[in-house]
Chains A and B, each alone.
Chain A
Amino acid sequence: MTTLLTQHPPAGDTAPVNRRTGSGRARERRQRQSAFVYIAIVVCVALFGGPFLWILLTALAAREQLAEGAGGLLRFDNLQWGNFVEAVTRVELGAYFGNSLFLATLTAVLTTASSATVGFAFARIRARGSKPLFTIVLATMMIPHIATLIPTYMMFSRLSLVGTYWPWVLWGLSGSAYMIFLFRQFFAAIPLELEDAAIIDGCGWPRIFVQIFLPLSRPILLTSLLLQFTWAWGDYLTPALLLTQDNTTLSVAVTNAYLDPLGNGIPTLQAAGSILYILPALVIFLFFQRYFISSALSSGVKG
């Protein structure tokens, strides 16, 4: 399993042979190459990291500094930590934070539970129709999310479910095709002998699932919980469509709050608010990055 933050990874060195040739010209070429590599890396770090730095500078700037142009943000004598306080108090950020937390947790727990159950069925039980059904599961990953979201919105508004959290419960209970696929892969690899022993001991299938398969699948359960949580936390369109101003999530609040009387965004507050909004996702990522990577791996190698 690859981890991003390990200092000395077992990197497959791409040029092991060059190292053996010791002639002066080869060494010179190697030095030129590694200089190129370092320059490329510095440029890329600036490109990918720059926006993070900029949002931080904006969040700590006074509004007048913005008027001075880009250079105004680079004065560090006047850091406005109060922007964060204002970002929290100006709108009820805490309440939206709570909504997001509730919705993301709900989605993560329900989706994980149902995807594990369905994945178990596809991995361990053969029944007429199970193979074509699995093909359909995989095919649904290709259906554009948005193509079903708007008709679903029409449906939910008929059922008076718009403005409630029930749609998330329903989505969660039906599982996610992606996670079903991952769970199926994982369960298929568990040896049959474990089940055999349990069956001889007289275990029924629900107990086998709960007491043998689930405890073995802690890493993938955690992966699923983390991924579903971050997806729900980052989702914008679904809460924007299906929730009201009062019970919506942080992602919607951060875009629509912090407007001046003319309806223009106030950049310093938007920046501070966004940082507070990103932080939970970032912390989860930094602590559990190997789970994100491992799920990326299993999805990327699908034949």
Chain B
Amino acid sequence: MTTLAAPPARSRHWRRYPASTFYLFAAPWILGFLALTIIPLGWALVISLTNFDGMAPGYRFIGLKNYVELFTDYPQALRSLWQTVLYTAAVVPLSVAGGLGLAILVNRRIRAVGLIRAIFFLPSVVPVVATAIMWRLVLNPDAGMLNGILDLVGLPSSISWLIDPYAFYSLLMVSLWGLGGGMVIILAALQDVPGELNEAAVLDGANGWQTIRHVTIPMISPVLYFQVVTGVIGALQVLVQPMLLAQTSSIATAASVPPSTHLYMVQVYEKFFTNNRFGFGSAMLWVFFVVIMLITLALQRSSRRWVHYQASTNED
């Protein structure tokens, strides 16, 4: 298992290559970063101050008008931002807790444990398009598996899962289906927890739940933190799933996405490619960009309180 390994310590070895060698080797990334990240982001910032519509060359500078409109005169944007926050607040805790639960479940000697782990992990390697098609079949109101099961156990079974009020829960289900990716990482961390720690807790009279709560979770907290951070960043920018799970699943029809899954990025996409408001869409992107950075920083702050790093695995 790799941690941020310190580069070789003996400094005389560093002098063997001139600095120009470093820049030559690092050039692909530096140039790519400038051309494919900084310039597009900067350009989007400039465009967000104009009324550019994606085609007409004669667009002009309109100052902060797009931003003002976004915050004062565009309730859909704020509502979609709220939906996105709701979605993130639901999906991240559930998937981290679910990943932890599954990892604990399969971190024991049982028959065919390898096969069971693979079944839990497989959904997370299925491409998003196939996941969406698969779940549209499962959620199909007439011939879907879910309504079939509900019918079998005698529950109301003609639920239209892809439209409101159920669409939001369907999206959650589909997202949680992929939590096996997190399970694998947590499982690896669990196997690194020294067995003596658990034994000591049991000898001290801790039951299973107390051992997990007071020994296991603190020991693997860096990994859980990593899951939370990547989960939040991923959940905030979800775009393809809600679009492909909509009734008429096609990228061209963002408008058919039901309100409860009309997340912020869907709204941005619609502004750009349905309404041709590139200036306004860019403003939405930049607001979002800032929101994500703030959330990441806030998470990093909070992590100091509950993430425990072992002294030996600190970075250089």
Residue numbers of A with Cβ under 8 A of B are 2-18, 33, 37-38, 40-41, 44-45, 47-52, 54-55, 58, 65-73, 114, 117-118, 120-128, 130, 133, 136-137, 140, 142-148, 150-152, 154-155, 170-171, 173-175, 177, 180, 182, 185-186, 188-189, 192, 195-196, 199, 205, 209, 230, 233-237, 240, 251-252, 254-256, 263-265, 267, 270-271, 274, 277-278, 281-282, 285-286, 289, 292-293, 296-303
Instruction: Tell yes or no: B3 within 8 A of A by CB.
Output: yes
In the complex, the answer to whether B29 meets A137 with C-beta atoms within 8 Å is yes
Smallest Cβ-Cβ distance to B273: which chain A residue? A241
If A140-B37, A205-B17, A274-B129 touch, whether A9 touches B114 (CB-CB below 8 Å) is: yes
> In the complex, A49→B43 CA distance in Å?
45
Least CB distance from A136 to B in Å reads 7
- Known A51-B134, A267-B136; 17 more pairs at CB < 8 Å: A7-B112, A47-B177, A52-B134, A120-B25, A123-B7, A128-B19, A140-B37, A154-B40, A182-B2, A185-B5, A189-B5, A205-B21, A267-B140, A286-B118, A296-B188, A301-B223, A302-B226
In the complex, the answer to whether A296 meets B119 with C-beta atoms within 8 Å is no
In the complex, the answer to whether B145 meets A50 with C-beta atoms within 8 Å is yes
In the complex, the answer to whether B127 meets A69 with C-beta atoms within 8 Å is no
If A12-B190, A51-B145 touch, whether A114 touches B28 (CB-CB below 8 Å) is: yes
Smallest Cβ-Cβ distance to A189: which chain B residue? B5
Instruction: Tell yes or no: B171 within 8 A of A by CB.
Output: no
In the complex, the answer to whether B26 meets A121 with C-beta atoms within 8 Å is yes
In the complex, the answer to whether B134 meets A274 with C-beta atoms within 8 Å is yes
Instruction: Tell yes or no: B259 within 8 A of A by CB.
Output: no
| Contact flags B114-136 to A (C-beta < 8 A → 1, else 0) | 11111111110111111011111
| Residues of chain B with a CB closer than 8 A to A14's CB | 104, 107-108, 198, 208, 211
If A14-B198, A41-B116 touch, whether A150 touches B13 (CB-CB below 8 Å) is: no
Residue numbers of B with Cβ under 8 A of A are 1-8, 10-11, 13-14, 16-17, 19-26, 28-33, 35-37, 39-41, 43-44, 47, 54, 102, 104-110, 112-123, 125-130, 132-138, 140, 142-145, 147-149, 151, 177, 180-181, 184-191, 193, 195, 198-199, 202-203, 208, 211, 222-223, 226-227, 233, 236-237, 239-240, 244, 248-251, 265, 268, 272, 278, 281-282, 285, 288-289, 292-293, 296, 309, 313-315
11 A-B contacts, Cβ less than 8 Å apart?
A4-B117, A11-B191, A14-B211, A40-B105, A44-B120, A48-B123, A68-B143, A121-B21, A150-B282, A150-B285, A152-B40
Chain B interface, DSSP helix/strand/loop, else mixed: helix
Smallest Cβ-Cβ distance to A7: which chain B residue? B114
In the complex, the answer to whether B29 meets A180 with C-beta atoms within 8 Å is yes
| Residues of chain B with a CB closer than 8 A to A278's CB | 126-127, 130
Smallest Cβ-Cβ distance to B314: which chain A residue? A303
Least CB distance from A301 to B in Å reads 6
| Residues of chain B with a CB closer than 8 A to A255's CB | 129, 132-133, 244, 249-251
Partner of A297, one of B185, B244, B268: B185
> In the complex, A199→B21 CA distance in Å?
15
If A54-B138, A174-B33 touch, whether A300 touches B188 (CB-CB below 8 Å) is: yes
Partner of A234, one of B28, B128, B189, B314: B128
Partner of B249, one of A7, A73, A205, A265: A265
If A50-B138, A127-B19, A251-B127 touch, whether A154 touches B43 (CB-CB below 8 Å) is: yes
> In the complex, A170→B112 CA distance in Å?
44
Q: Which 7 A-B pairs have the closest CB atoms?
A: A174-B32, A70-B148, A234-B127, A121-B25, A127-B19, A300-B185, A151-B40
If A68-B143, A73-B143, A170-B35 touch, whether A298 touches B125 (CB-CB below 8 Å) is: no
Smallest Cβ-Cβ distance to A125: which chain B residue? B22
If A70-B147, A142-B233, A292-B125 touch, whether A125 touches B251 (CB-CB below 8 Å) is: no
> In the complex, A52→B124 CA distance in Å?
12
| Residues of chain B with a CB closer than 8 A to A143's CB | 37, 289
In the complex, the answer to whether A282 meets B122 with C-beta atoms within 8 Å is yes
Smallest Cβ-Cβ distance to B114: which chain A residue? A5
In the complex, the answer to whether B285 meets A117 with C-beta atoms within 8 Å is no
> In the complex, A188→B8 CA distance in Å?
7
If A17-B199, A41-B110, A148-B36 touch, whether A185 touches B4 (CB-CB below 8 Å) is: yes
In the complex, the answer to whether A147 meets B41 with C-beta atoms within 8 Å is yes
| Residues of chain B with a CB closer than 8 A to A293's CB | 184, 188
